[in-house]
Amino acid sequence: MTDFEPTIIAFVCNWCTYTAADLAGTSRLTYPKNVRMVRVMCTGMVDPQYVIKALLEGADGVLVSGCHPGDCHYINGNFKARRRIKLLKEILPQFGFEPERLRLTWIGASDGIQFAEIMRELVAQLKTLGPSEAKLKMVI
């Protein structure tokens, strides 16, 4: 499993986690290239179907990441996101998706270092977990 490179789809909010990723870049921090970022205005606009589609299309992990509680640019979008992730975490494991494949984090705009650390940790976890069943078997 050493040569397995997981694919991670990250839905990151414009105001916090995307900015943190930007900061990580401008600070010349390194982190694995496995993560494909999708910039959204707010985690509150991440419909569960985006997560489901990413997983069914073969993403090994999906990360939704936004502002810390209280810091949402739209006041409460991240709280709505948290309920949707809670919902998905009730549904997806029923069908064999490991809970580790869906993550929600709060990474603030100034958390460039944390961003890089979390990416490294996520990739390490997914490498241990191995490729997703969807990637291996799904024919859509």
Partner 1 sequence: MAKTAQIDVKDQDLLGALRGFFMAVLDQDEISAILVPWRLPMKNRVMPTLITDPARLDGADPLSPAFPMNGAKVVSRLTRKASGGKIAVVLRPCEIRAFIELVKLKQGRTEDLVIIGIDCLGAYRNTDYFNWVGEDIGASTKAFYTRVLSGKGAAMDGIDLAPACQACEFPVADGADVSVGLFGMDTDSRVLVQARTQAGEMLFLNLRLSETEEPPERKKAVDALVAERIAFRDRMFTETHAATDSLEKLTGYLANCINCYNCRVACPVCYCRECVFLTDVFDHEPSQYLRWADRKGVVKMPTDTVFYHLTRLAHMSTACVGCGQCTNACPNDIPVMELFRTIAHRTQKGFDYEAGRSLDEKPPLSEFREDEFDEVVGIG
Q: Is the dihedral of CA 105, 111, 117, 119 positive or negative?
A: positive
Does position 75 interact with partner 1 (CB under 8 A)? The reply is no
Which amino acid does the sequence have at 104? L
Q: Say how far apart CA 17 and CA 127 lie, in whole Å.
A: 23
From the CB of 129, what's the least distance to partner 1, in Å?
11
Among 85, 109, 115, 116, binds partner 1 (CB under 8 A): 85
Does position 121 interact with partner 1 (CB under 8 A)? The reply is yes
In this structure, the dihedral spanned by the alpha carbons of residues 68, 100, 123 and 33, taken in order and rounded to 10 degrees, is -70
Does position 120 interact with partner 1 (CB under 8 A)? The reply is no
Tokens 């949707």 found at: 84
What is the contact surface with partner 1 in residues (CB under 8 A)? Answer: 48-49, 52-53, 56, 69-70, 76, 79-80, 82-91, 94-97, 100, 103-106, 118, 121-122, 125, 133-134, 137-140
